[in-house]
Amino acid sequence: MKTISLKIDSNLHGWLEKRSKFLGRSKSAITRDALEKSRKQKAAPSCHDLMQAACGSLRSGVKDLATNKNHLKGFGEWKR
C-alpha cells in the first residue's frame, strides 16, 4: 500500500480524531473509505446530458449561422 500525506484544517482534524475514536478505526481507514466512496459516486449529469433530447431540435432559420462570418459580427463583444 502506498503512503500519502495531506493537509487539513484543525476543524476537520478534530472531527477525524473524534470519529476515529468513536468507530475504533484508524484515521487512515476512515480517509481511505471516504476516498473510495467519492471515487465510486457517479458524477452529476451535465447540462448537455439533461438537454440531450432537445439539442438540435430548434431551427434558427439561418442555414449558414455557424459558417458565415457576417453572422458573427460583434459576437463576444460587450455592449454598453
pLDDT tens readout for residues 14-53: 999 999 999 999 999 999 999 999 999 888 889 988 998 8
Asked if residue 77 belongs to a domain, the reply is no
Comparing C-alpha atoms, which of 66, 5, 62 is closest to residue 31? 5
What is residue 62's three-state secondary structure? coil
Residue at grid coordinates 471515487: 39
- The CA–CA distances, whole Å, from 24 to 18, 20, 29 equal 10, 6, 10
Asked if residue 42 belongs to a domain, the reply is yes
Asked if residue 62 belongs to a domain, the reply is yes
The domain tally of the chain equals: 1
> Higher model confidence: residue 3 or residue 77?
3
Mean pLDDT of the chain: 88
Q: Domain residues for 57?
A: 10-72
Indicate the pLDDT class of residue 80, thresholds 50, 70 and 90: low
- Indicate the helix (H) or strand (E) that contains 31: helix 27-40
- Classify residue 41 by its DSSP letter: S
**Residue 63: per-residue pLDDT:** 80
